[in-house]
Amino acid sequence: MSTLIVIVLLGLVFAFLAVQNTAVSTVNILGYAWTLPIYMIVFGALLIGFFISWIVSSISRLGTWSNLHGKDSKIREGQHNVAQLQNKIKELELENAKLQGRNENKPHKFLDRFRRNQA
């Protein structure tokens, strides 16, 4: 809605300039001469400015997109590493539990062997 209001206001300003500046001027570009009303020269300069601004903005957006894409790939790589490390932790915990279970079954002292056999 705010964009529409700005467009209407710019249109009104342009219409006011067109009515007030009906004098003509000659524009020379690359050896060609055109006789145009001043309001058309102003409008043309405005359009050229918008076009240049759009090009600069597009280049900036492309650089930003490239940076974000690089950061996204680093995040994905980090998440992959975290998942691998979590799997490794689970494997080591299982191995640790198995080893602790084996150690519990083994008697620690010579007399513990006889106590377990009697029970």
The answer to whether the beta carbons of residues 13 and 22 sit under 8 Å apart is no
- Run of H or E including 34: strand 32-37
Torsion, Cα of 107, 111, 116, 118 (10° steps)? 160
Domain boundaries defined on the chain = 2-103
The three-class DSSP label of residue 109 is coil
Report d(CA 50, CA 48) in Å as an integer. Answer: 5
pLDDT at 15: 85
Give the Cα separation of 114 and 28 in Å (integer): 113
Q: What is the dihedral of CA 90, 94, 97, 103, to 10 degrees?
A: -140
Say if residues 46 and 58 touch (Cβ distance below 8 Å).
no
Q: What's the confidence (pLDDT) of residue 29?
A: 84
Whole-number Å distance between alpha carbons of 82 and 76: 10
Tens-binned pLDDT, residue by residue, of the chain (119 aa): 888 899 899 888 888 878 887 788 888 888 889 898 888 888 888 889 999 999 999 998 988 888 888 888 899 999 999 999 999 999 999 988 888 877 655 555 666 656 655 54
